[in-house]
Amino acid sequence: MKVLPGAGVGEIRFGQTEQEVEAILGKPDKAIRESHDGEGSIAWHYKEQKLSVYFDEDVEYRLVMLDVDNAALEIDGFRPIGEDEDTVLELLNGLGDVVLEEELADVERRVFDLVDTGLWFWFHKGLCDSVQASVLLDEDDEYVWPD
């Protein structure tokens, strides 16, 4: 399961419709319709694949984000899930600028952004437990769909 920054993960590509994603992954184990500040989205969760996919109403429910907890996830030949923070940050620093986005000390949670890639790395108690990948945005905050 290879991460393609700004494009997707494996065969799953940002901009795909619900039907296209379902043809690849099958029916989700759980689907949740959400609304935040009047904007709707749908989250599909796949327990076995340890993967969640998110579709945004503003773009006719096309795929805009993935959340991957699967240890088979690869970025640049490296598998970050389950690895310690120092090891992952060393790899990420070799790929670009890394910024600490959020730190929740009470739950021992830290989130790092690999700048300009649409990738966020989530750590709990010093171990990477999730990677979020999203479609990139241009300077006008419009989605930049992969080719």
What does the alpha-carbon distance between residue 24 and residue 42 come to, in Å, rounded to a whole number?
17
Cβ neighbors of 49 (< 8 A, separation 6 or more) are 25, 70
pLDDT tens-digit series, residues 128-145:
999 999 999 999 989 999
Map out the domains of the chain with their CATH numbers: 3-144 (2.60.460)
pTM: 0.90
pLDDT tens-digit series, residues 45-97:
999 999 999 999 989 999 999 999 999 999 989 999 999 999 999 999 889 99
The pLDDT score that the predictor gives to residue 106 is: 78
Q: Is the pLDDT of residue 147 over 90?
A: no
Q: Is the pLDDT of residue 36 over 80?
A: no
